């Protein structure tokens, strides 16, 4: 089913004609009752075809079950009174999807929700190809969100080779969601204007464990950076001592110095120095 444009004419002229028919009917009743009845019926027939169309609204017309076309001209219009007319809004609408609990690509339960901005682009498909286009949009949007969540990992903590994740690549994820919705809702004559993930989180039963895992990962990353910096500082200290010829250190004293510097630089708390009054060997 494809949408067809149905032309209509201005309704002001037909209002005038209908009123004239009603006005002439009483005057002709005494001399020509048949003509008077015809004028009254004609006036009713003409006025029945008057319709008012508001901005961003369409009226789909059918004639004894056959789709004739859709009228989109605004204002006071007149169409064939025998047409059956169905109003349909062409305005943009928001669909605030409910939170869904699904498993991501790695099998972790997550909570996800999306906001979809959509509007009817083809009135014929919306009215005649699906049973209830608004309900169709809601159900298919939930199905698209579930498919998207199960096709990508929440993050790359488990799958380091994952290029697109739900948490880190929101721009690409939103584009994928729009494409998926366009394919699903195209058969209902609906155009997706925007689709965005509005809520994303781990499910409560694993949120605590995942938080600990993220904290552990952050601690390991921080300690790794601290150790790399400490090793660099120890190398620089040994190089400067050798360059200035401040002191001659054998391998054992170098090892002791490296150990002390690493303890000082890598420790989480302030180090209390211990003064050795003797030598390294006493």
DSSP state of 65: T
Identify the pLDDT of residue 130: 92
First to last CA, the chain: 98
The predicted pLDDT at position 217 comes to 65
pLDDT in tens, 180-208: 999 999 999 999 999 999 988 888 776 56
Residue-wise pLDDT for 211-259, tens only, equals 766 666 666 677 777 777 777 877 787 777 777 666 666 677 767 777 7
Q: What is the pLDDT of residue 160?
A: 60
Which pLDDT belongs to residue 234? 75
Identify the pLDDT of residue 136: 94
How far CA 5 is from CA of 64, 73, 74, 270, in Å, comes to: 18, 10, 13, 80
Helical H segments across the chain, by residue range: 11-29, 33-48, 123-128, 133-151, 170-185, 204-244, 251-266
From first to last of its 282 residues, what are the pLDDT tens digits of the chain?
888 999 888 888 888 888 888 788 777 777 777 788 888 888 888 888 899 999 999 999 999 989 999 999 999 999 999 999 999 999 999 999 889 988 888 888 889 999 999 999 999 999 999 999 999 999 999 999 999 998 888 877 655 666 788 888 888 999 999 999 999 999 999 999 999 999 888 887 765 666 766 666 666 677 777 777 777 877 787 777 777 666 666 677 767 777 767 666 666 666 666 655 555 555
Phi, psi of 108 (to 5 degrees): -80, 130
The pLDDT, as a whole number, for residue 281 is 54
- DSSP-based helix, strand, coil % in the chain, nearest 5: 50, 20, 30
pTM higher than 0.85, yes or no?
A: no
Q: Is the dihedral of CA 190, 194, 197, 199 positive or negative?
A: negative
Burial of 103 (0-12, 13-18, 19+ CB in 10 A): middle
């Amino acid at each position: 089913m494809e949408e067809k444009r149905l032309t209509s004419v201005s309704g002001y002229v037909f209002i005038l004609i209908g009123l004239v028919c009603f006005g002439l009917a009483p005057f002709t009743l005494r001399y020509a009752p048949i003509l008077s009845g015809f004028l009254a019926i004609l006036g009713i027939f003409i006025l029945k075809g008057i319709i008012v169309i508001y901005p961003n609204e369409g009226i789909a017309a059918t004639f004894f079950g056959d789709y004739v076309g859709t009228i989109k001209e605004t204002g006071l219009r007149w169409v064939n009174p025998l047409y059956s007319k169905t109003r349909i809004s062409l305005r943009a609408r928001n669909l605030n999807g409910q939170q869904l609990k699904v498993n991501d690509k790695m099998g972790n339960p997550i909570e996800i929700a999306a906001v979809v901005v959509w509007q009817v682009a083809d009135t014929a498909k919306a009215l005649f190809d699906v049973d209830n286009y608004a309900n169709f949009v809601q159900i298919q949007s939930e199905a698209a969100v579930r498919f998207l969540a199960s096709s990508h990992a929440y993050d790359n903590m488990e799958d380091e080779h994952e290029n697109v994740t739900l948490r880190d690549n929101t721009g690409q994820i939103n584009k994928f969601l729009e494409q998926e919705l366009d394919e699903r809702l195209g058969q209902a004559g609906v155009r997706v204007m925007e689709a965005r993930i509005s809520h994303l989180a781990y499910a409560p039963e694993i949120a605590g464990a995942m938080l600990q895992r993220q904290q552990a990962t952050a601690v390991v990353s921080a300690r790794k950076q601290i150790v790399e910096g400490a090793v660099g500082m120890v190398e620089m200290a040994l190089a400067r001592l050798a360059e200035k010829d401040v002191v001659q250190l054998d391998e054992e004293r170098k090892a002791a110095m490296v150990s002390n510097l690493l303890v000082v630089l890598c420790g989480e708390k302030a180090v209390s120095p211990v003064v050795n009054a003797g030598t390294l060997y006493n």
